[in-house]
């Protein structure tokens, strides 16, 4: 017994020592928020202070020092976020994750994000280039000299930026420009929609395609070409059906493979615009209690931990010919500016416009020389030109470097060389797909536009600043203290020829010049609104009148959120911050109410059918987390879509498309017209009943056999995923940030789910990445919140401290003049 007691004592001592060591390590990873630190390159000391809302205030003697200090702070607080994003952007994941991420790296190398960033950097004005270089200096200085221990992600994956940072090369100015392009890739893409239409047309005729991808309400079809006939006559399809949407991958038996699978799923969403939306609105003083404008903004982005945003203030005076700024709001780690926010006298907010700024082109390969593709000719006879080819060397952990050949045409990179799904649909021995995209052009004014917006003190100055903005096009609402409000679609949109009968809806023949772009729509001609109604609102709906003379896109978001916002704006004669905050939390589900009668009439012999239908009785349209009705409805419409749309497209083709899109517009049209071509000869009522039976069986398996205990919030938690720790099951719940939520993809308080994720198909993965409210009567009464916390370190108390408030639609003060500081750090040269 004595030896057993000694053994237990020894084990206990080891556990205590391990816990002490773990606590010591965790403390070493936390940033220094007080005291003094050295930052080489500063011209003068910089004050870095945090207020009660945990907003970081950076006060510098000149703008260059402020940008440098922000780079240092981003590295302190969000070091792993910067490192991971850098590797994705550069196509360098395989260097520390091994061969499992090669496909992701090949895609990023093919797109040429790094090359495009370097071209755009060369074209920047000196002031903008200075900002990029100063910010990079701040990041490198932290990683090169800080005593702060690396967080667990760095240690687990063996990543250490110190040596490259010491040489000033780990983060560079092109990296910042590149991350701006990556945001455009996330928000401004539709190549996936074009490819989905191409794939669907292998089994559908053109009329059925337009039933699957309906035009925006009230609009004719954007493309007049008989696309099915075009592709059939060209012979673009490979023989046989697709078996997979991506290249095979080894079993997920280790961390690196699980991370690779997650990344492949993530990058597969590039080029898909559905669900990537936001809300913003602004009201004039004539419609507010204060007599001054109010502005609201909640951009909807993929939820991540740490969050995509970091709130900060940048303050520096004009000095020696360099303009200063005093601006506060949401910064984007990887860039040195306030992207969304306010100055002392003006405020602005974005939503995604979503114009068609990506076109896929069918490039015909010369049958006599596979190194050539077809180009236009004066007489229409086939003419050929060589592919431009560059070699990319990808370092791979544990094995030899891999050489990836990137081909390009006169339109842009050949995506088919890095998208396995293309080879499952196309006969790539005869045709490949190339991409033209506005964000890859040699000149991009986003950096200049954002710098000038950070200095703007009026709507006029904001309108002028955003004239340089290019990609992705944004719906900008703005207001100033003088009382002016305005809206402008800011960004670059291609002009398409009048005889272009495809208009970017689907891949176009690359050798036919009528499908080429004909320049850019002038900024003066993009949609705008001066607020004559007393308010302006956007929610990714069509943002121009039916008689607008220019084509932007037909892939607008369904107008449910916009129509709800308009009703709420109109029904309150005089708004204030309280009414605006209530609007941002609105859970009214008009899309659900539209289809609910079809569900309530569904016949099912499932034992839980009566209880489920009872739960739907008296539904008031509010998709609350504590309600069963949204869960039953969502499961039913999911099963209906799988059965009806999936049944006609075929399982593999459907699964390659589903999740990235919901096909909800198609389902509405199919159900309301009882379209038997889709539902089968028994009609849509029978298909609806069968879907309800399958849905109830799924819900029984996952939520139990007592329907009275089902809750939408249990199936619909907001999950802010962490890369890579979400792929380590024992650690996922520690690193992820989860909280029950209401809403769905069509409510103002949005909750977008990805139905292709079998582990949690209804989880809220794409929602309000921040909420902000600006009161132009007193801008220091402005409010904000987002879904995690300012820190990117899981050991910090500030890692998830906004989560509960975000879920409850609460907010924090966003002030240029806080009453006190919670921390004070001085950075000295």
At 655-684, the pLDDT tens digits run 999 998 999 999 999 999 999 999 999 999
Q: What pLDDT score was predicted for residue 249?
A: 47
Q: Which residues contact 764 (CB under 8 A, 6 or more apart)?
A: 303, 716, 717, 718, 719, 741, 743, 751, 752, 753
The residue written with tokens 């070493």 in the block is 28
Question: Can you tell me the distance from the alpha carbon of 131 to that of 697, in angstroms, rounded to the nearest whole number?
Answer: 57
Q: What pLDDT score was predicted for residue 252?
A: 47
Q: What pLDDT score was predicted for residue 245?
A: 41
Question: Can you tell me the distance from the alpha carbon of 56 to that of 86, in angstroms, rounded to the nearest whole number?
Answer: 23
Dig out the tokens for 709 from the structure.
């205990």
Q: What pLDDT score was predicted for residue 248?
A: 47
Phi, psi (degrees; rounded to nearest 5) at 387? -60, 140
CB-based contact 687:644 (threshold 8 Å): yes
Confidence of residue 796 (pLDDT cuts 50, 70, 90): very high
Q: What pLDDT score was predicted for residue 320?
A: 84
Dig out the tokens for 436 from the structure.
């033209």
CB-based contact 171:139 (threshold 8 Å): yes
Strand residue runs (E) in 332-480: 338-342, 346-352, 358-366, 369-375, 383-386, 388-394, 402-408, 431-437, 474-480
Neighbours of 163 (CB within 10 A): 11
> Of residues 187 and 136, which shows the higher confidence score?
136
Report the DSSP beta bridge partners of residue 405.
391
Q: What pLDDT score was predicted for residue 387?
A: 98
Dig out the tokens for 212 from the structure.
């699957």
Q: What pLDDT score was predicted for residue 503?
A: 97
Q: Is 147 exposed, middle or buried (0-12, 13-18, 19+ CB in 10 A)?
A: exposed
Average pLDDT of the segment spanning 760-764: 96
Question: Can you tell me the distance from the alpha carbon of 74 to that of 194, in angstroms, rounded to the nearest whole number?
Answer: 37
3-state secondary structure of 460: helix
Question: Can you tell me the distance from the alpha carbon of 343 to that of 464, in angstroms, rounded to the nearest whole number?
Answer: 16
Residue 399 has pLDDT above 70, yes or no: yes
Neighbours of 607 (CB within 10 A): 11
Dig out the tokens for 773 from the structure.
């409210």
**Looking at residue 726, what DSSP letter applies?**
G
What percent of the chain is predicted at pLDDT more than 90? 88
Q: What pLDDT score was predicted for residue 478?
A: 98
* 58 sits in which H/E element: strand 56-59
Question: Can you tell me the distance from the alpha carbon of 451 to that of 304, in angstroms, rounded to the nearest whole number?
Answer: 26
Phi, psi (degrees; rounded to nearest 5) at 146? -70, 145
Which of 686, 705, 689 is closest to 604 using CA atoms? 689
Q: What pLDDT score was predicted for residue 811?
A: 98
Average pLDDT of the segment spanning 744-760: 95
Question: Can you tell me the distance from the alpha carbon of 816 to that of 814, in angstroms, rounded to the nearest whole number?
Answer: 7
Average pLDDT of the segment spanning 725-747: 94
Could you give the count of Cα atoms lying within 13 Å of 693 in the half-sphere of its Cβ?
Answer: 11
Question: Can you tell me the distance from the alpha carbon of 471 to that of 591, in angstroms, rounded to the nearest whole number?
Answer: 30
Complete DSSP assignment for 466-483: GGG--SS-EEEEEEETTS
Alpha-carbon torsion (442, 444, 445, 448), positive or negative: negative
Distance of CA 626 to the CA centre of its chain: 28
Strand residue runs (E) in 463-609: 474-480, 485-490, 494-496, 508-509, 517-520, 528-529, 535-538
Across the chain, mean pLDDT equals 94
What percent of the chain is predicted at pLDDT more than 70? 97
Task: Report how far apart the first and last C-alpha atoms of the chain are (Å, whole number).
Answer: 63
Residue 13 has pLDDT above 90, yes or no: no
Q: What pLDDT score was predicted for residue 444?
A: 82
Distance of CA 698 to the CA centre of its chain: 30
Residue 776 has pLDDT above 70, yes or no: yes
* Residues 242-301: tens digit of each pLDDT: 444 444 444 445 666 777 777 777 777 777 777 778 999 999 999 999 999 999 999 999
| CA geometry: angle 795, 298, 794, nearest 5 deg | 5
Neighbours of 704 (CB within 10 A): 11
Dig out the tokens for 403 from the structure.
């050489």
Annotate 32-56 with three-state secondary structure: CCCEEEECCCCCCCEEEEEECCCCE
* Residues 581-613: tens digit of each pLDDT: 999 999 999 999 999 999 999 999 999 999 999
* Residues 348-372: tens digit of each pLDDT: 999 999 999 999 999 999 999 999 9
**Looking at residue 71, what DSSP letter applies?**
H
Average pLDDT of the segment spanning 221-229: 98
CB-based contact 575:288 (threshold 8 Å): yes
Q: Which residues contact 293 (CB under 8 A, 6 or more apart)?
A: 282, 283, 284, 285, 479, 480, 483, 484, 485, 776
Question: Can you tell me the distance from the alpha carbon of 64 to that of 43, in angstroms, rounded to the nearest whole number?
Answer: 9
**Looking at residue 441, what DSSP letter applies?**
S
Q: What pLDDT score was predicted for residue 267?
A: 72
* Residues 105-154: tens digit of each pLDDT: 999 999 999 999 999 999 999 999 999 999 999 999 999 999 999 999 99
Dig out the tokens for 386 from the structure.
């060589």
The residue written with tokens 């303009």 in the block is 323
Alpha-carbon torsion (169, 173, 179, 184), positive or negative: negative
Question: Can you tell me the distance from the alpha carbon of 614 to that of 600, in angstroms, rounded to the nearest whole number?
Answer: 9
* 429 sits in which H/E element: none
Dig out the tokens for 452 from the structure.
């000038």
Alpha-carbon torsion (27, 29, 32, 33), positive or negative: negative
Confidence of residue 28 (pLDDT cuts 50, 70, 90): very high
Alpha-carbon torsion (306, 309, 315, 316), positive or negative: positive
Report the DSSP beta bridge partners of residue 330.
311, 340
Residue 241 has pLDDT above 60, yes or no: no
Buried b (16+ CB within 10 A) or exposed e, 806-817: bbebebbebbbe
Q: Where does residue 120 fall: left (phi above 0), alpha (psi -120 to 50 degrees), or beta otherwise?
A: alpha
| Of 7-21, 88-102, 163-177, 412-426, the least confident | 7-21
Report the DSSP beta bridge partners of residue 437.
358
CB-based contact 29:795 (threshold 8 Å): yes
């Amino acid at each position: 017994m004595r030896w057993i007691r000694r053994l237990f004592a020894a084990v206990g001592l080891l556990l205590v020592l391990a816990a002490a060591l773990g606590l010591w390590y965790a403390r070493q990873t936390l940033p220094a928020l007080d005291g003094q630190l050295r930052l080489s390159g500063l011209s003068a000391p910089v004050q870095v202070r945090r207020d009660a809302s945990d907003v970081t205030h950076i006060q510098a003697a000149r703008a260059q020092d402020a940008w440098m200090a922000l780079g240092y702070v981003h590295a302190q607080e969000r070091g792993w976020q910067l490192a991971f994003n850098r590797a994705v952007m550069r196509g360098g994941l395989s260097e520390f994750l091994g061969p499992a991420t090669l496909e992701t790296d090949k895609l990023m190398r093919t797109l040429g994000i790094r090359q495009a960033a370097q071209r755009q950097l060369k074209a920047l004005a000196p002031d903008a280039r200075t900002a990029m270089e100063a910010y990079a200096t701040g990041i490198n200085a932290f990683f090169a000299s800080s005593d702060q221990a690396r967080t667990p992600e760095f240690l687990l994956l063996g990543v250490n930026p110190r040596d490259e940072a010491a040489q000033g090369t780990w983060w560079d100015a092109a990296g910042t420009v590149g991350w701006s392009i990556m945001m455009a890739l996330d928000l401004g893409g539709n190549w996936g929609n074009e490819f989905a239409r191409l794939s669907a047309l292998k089994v559908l005729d053109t009329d059925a395609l337009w039933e699957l991808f309906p035009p925006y309400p009230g609009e004719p079809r954007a493309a007049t070409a008989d696309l099915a006939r075009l592709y059939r006559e060209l012979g673009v399809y490979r023989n046989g059906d697709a078996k997979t949407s991506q290249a095979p991958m080894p079993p997920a038996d280790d961390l690196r493979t699980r991370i690779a699978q997650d990344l492949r799923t993530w990058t597969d969403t590039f080029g898909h615009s559905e669900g990537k939306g936001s809300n913003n609105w602004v009201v004039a003083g004539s419609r507010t209690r204060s007599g001054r404008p109010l502005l609201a903004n909640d951009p909807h982005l993929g939820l991540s931990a740490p969050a995509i945003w970091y709130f900060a203030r940048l303050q520096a005076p004009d000095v020696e010919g360099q303009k200063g700024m005093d601006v506060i709001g949401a910064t984007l780690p990887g860039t040195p500016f306030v992207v969304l926010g306010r100055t002392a006298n003006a405020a602005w907010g974005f939503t995604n416009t979503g114009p068609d700024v990506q076109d896929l082109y069918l490039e015909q390969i010369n049958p006599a020389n596979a190194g050539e593709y077809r180009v236009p000719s004066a007489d229409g006879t086939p003419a050929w030109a060589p592919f431009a080819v560059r070699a990319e060397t990808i370092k791979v952990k544990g094995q030899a470097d891999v050489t990836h050949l990137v081909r390009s045409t006169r339109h842009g990179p050949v995506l088919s060389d890095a998208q396995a799904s293309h080879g499952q649909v196309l006969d790539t021995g005869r045709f490949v797909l190339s991409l033209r995209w506005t964000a890859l052009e040699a000149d991009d004014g986003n950096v200049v536009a954002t710098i000038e917006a950070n200095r703007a003190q009026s709507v006029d100055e904001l309108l002028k600043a955003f004239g340089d903005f290019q990609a992705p096009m944004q719906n900008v609402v703005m207001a100033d203290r003088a009382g002016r409000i305005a809206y402008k679609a800011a960004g670059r949109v291609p002009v398409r020829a009048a005889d272009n009968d495809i208009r970017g809806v689907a891949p176009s023949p690359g050798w036919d010049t009528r499908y080429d772009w004909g320049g850019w729509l002038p900024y003066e001609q993009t949609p705008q609104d001066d607020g004559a109604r007393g308010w302006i609102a956007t929610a990714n709906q069509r943002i121009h009148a039916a008689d607008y003379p220019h084509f932007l896109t037909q892939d607008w978001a369904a107008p449910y959120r916009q129509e709800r916002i308009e009703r709420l704006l109109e029904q309150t004669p005089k708004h204030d911050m309280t009414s605006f905050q209530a609007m941002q939390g609105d859970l009214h589900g008009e899309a659900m109410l539209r289809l609910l009668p079809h569900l309530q009439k569904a016949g099912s012999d499932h034992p839980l059918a009566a209880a489920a239908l009872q739960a739907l009785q008296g539904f008031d349209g509010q998709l609350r987390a504590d309600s069963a009705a949204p869960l039953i409805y969502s499961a039913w419409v999911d099963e209906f879509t799988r059965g009806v749309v999936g049944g006609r497209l075929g399982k593999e083709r459907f699964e390659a498309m589903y999740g990235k899109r919901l096909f909800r517009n198609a389902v509405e049209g199919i159900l309301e017209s009882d379209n038997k071509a889709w539902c089968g000869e028994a009609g849509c009522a029978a298909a609806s009943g069968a879907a309800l039976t399958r849905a109830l069986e799924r819900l029984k398996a996952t939520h139990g056999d007592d329907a009275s205990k089902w809750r939408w919030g249990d199936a619909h938690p907001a999950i802010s995923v962490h890369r890579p720790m979400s792929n380590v099951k024992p650690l996922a719940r520690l690193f992820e940030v989860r909280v029950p939520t209401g809403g769905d993809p069509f409510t103002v308080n949005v909750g977008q789910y990805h139905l292709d994720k079998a582990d949690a198909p209804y989880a809220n993965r794409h929602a309000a990445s921040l909420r902000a409210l600006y009161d132009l009567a007193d801008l220091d009464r402005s409010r904000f919140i987002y879904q995690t916390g300012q820190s990117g370190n899981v050991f910090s108390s500030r890692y998830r401290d906004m989560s509960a408030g975000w879920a409850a639609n609460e907010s924090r003060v966003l002030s240029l003049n806080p009453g006190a500081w919670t921390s004070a750090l001085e950075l000295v040269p």
